[in-house]
């Protein structure tokens, strides 16, 4: 791969997004490290630059079309045309259905579904022009249903249909689209779930690991490695797939 290819990773200040940004930089991509707060991206950018890579911190709320348009244009101007996009930004607003507010519903749809739509729409213009593109959307094992996550599971299932449609529409331009659906990954997101349930994070991890066939929870690097493959040149015949990365089988 030439080092001129540019990748955008959203929600990349921490967790799975940070690990993915670091991994794609190792793979030779120049990486736009996107998160709500631009200054929160500084650490990941520094780590990429110290390892000899190119990176740019960009503050974008992916649910806001004006910020997406301006941010993606800035990335194209300062780093180069984005040809890989990892829609990773995410939030949870868990509650049982009878207690879930409209705001809980709209906020989750706004970041996951609207955010992925806006980012993909802005980036496809560059990808189709370059006749090369790699789109990876973060789904979840929760797409199959999870108590307390009516909003999140609907968004993550929606992203699977979105991904397959992008694969169908964009394939003829050399653009692939795939979804990675993680199981339990040790990040701030799963820590906040433990907090909500009133369980110590260590105990939550221990219990979750005991339920997973490989007997451990996932780390952000497990997801980054799968995304790395999907963003590679050699993954060009893999498109429209949902890959569960969960330490065991899921449909
Ligand atoms: P995380 O640690 O909570 O990180 C998510 C990042 O996204 C945060 O830096 C957050 O910024 C950012 N973000 C939130 N809203 C945003 C917006 N509107 N625009 C831009 N950035 C925004 O989460 P994670 O565990 O790494 O999860 C990453 C992705 O994987 C998410 O899509 C999640 O749903 C999915 N996933 C995670 C797991 C898991 O077990 N962890 C499992 C399945 C799927 P702030 O800190 O400023 O809010």
pLDDT in tens, 2-49: 457 999 999 999 999 999 999 999 999 999 999 999 999 999 999 999
Q: Is 29 a catalytic residue?
A: no
Q: Percent of the chain having pLDDT more than 70?
A: 99
Longest pairwise C-alpha distance within the chain: 52
pLDDT in tens, 161-170: 999 999 999 9
Cβ–ligand 1 contact at 20 (below 6 Å): no
The Å distance, Cα 214 to ligand 1 centre, comes to: 24
pTM score = 0.98
Give the domain 6-183+219-245 fold: Rossmann fold (3.40.50)
Residue ID of nearest Cα to ligand 1 atom 44: 140
Residue 95, pLDDT > 70, answer yes
Strand partners, 245: 182
Q: Where are the domains of the chain?
A: 6-183+219-245
Q: pLDDT, tens digit, for every residue of 121-175?
A: 999 999 999 999 999 999 999 999 999 999 999 999 999 999 999 999 999 999 9
Pocket test for ligand 1, best of 36, 70, 87, 194 (most atoms within 8 A of CB): 36
Q: Is 42 in the pocket of ligand 1 (CB under 6 A)?
A: no
pLDDT tens figures, 69-81? 999 999 999 999 9
How far is it, in rounded angstroms, from Cα 86 to Cα 21? 9
| Count of alpha carbons within 13 angstroms of residue 197, beta-carbon side | 15
Q: Which atom of ligand 1 is nearest to the CA of 152?
A: 34
Ligand 1 centroid from CA 181, angstroms = 13
Query: For the chain, what is the total number of helices (H) and then of strands (E)?
Result: 9, 7
């Amino acid at each position: 791969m030439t080092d001129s290819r540019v990748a955008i990773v959203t929600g990349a200040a921490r967790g799975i997004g940070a690990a993915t940004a670091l991994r794609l930089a190792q793979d030779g991509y120049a990486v736009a490290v996107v998160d709500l707060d631009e200054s929160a991206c500084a650490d990941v950018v520094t780590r990429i630059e110290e390892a000899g890579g190119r990176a740019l911190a960009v503050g974008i709320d992916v649910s806001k079309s004006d910020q997406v348009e301006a941010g993606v244009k800035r990335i194209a101007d300062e780093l180069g045309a984005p040809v890989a996009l990892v829609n990773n930004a995410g939030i949870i607003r868990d509650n049982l259905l009878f207690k879930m507010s409209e705001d809980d519903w709209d906020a989750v749809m706004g970041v996951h579904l609207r955010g992925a739509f806006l980012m993909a729409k802005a980036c496809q213009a560059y990808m189709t022009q370059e006749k090369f593109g790699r789109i990876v959307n973060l789904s979840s094992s929760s797409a199959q249903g999870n108590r307390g996550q009516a909003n999140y599971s609907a968004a993550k299932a929606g992203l699977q249909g979105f991904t397959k449609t992008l694969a169908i529409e964009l394939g003829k331009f050399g653009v692939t689209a795939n979804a990675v659906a993680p199981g339990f990954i040790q990040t701030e997101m799963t820590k906040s779930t433990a907090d909500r349930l009133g369980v110590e994070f260590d105990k939550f991890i221990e219990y979750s690991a005991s339920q997973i066939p490989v007997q451990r929870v996932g780390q952000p690097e497990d997801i980054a490695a799968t995304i790395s493959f999907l963003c590679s040149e050699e993954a060009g015949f893999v498109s429209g797939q949902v890959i569960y990365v969960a330490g065991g089988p899921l449909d």
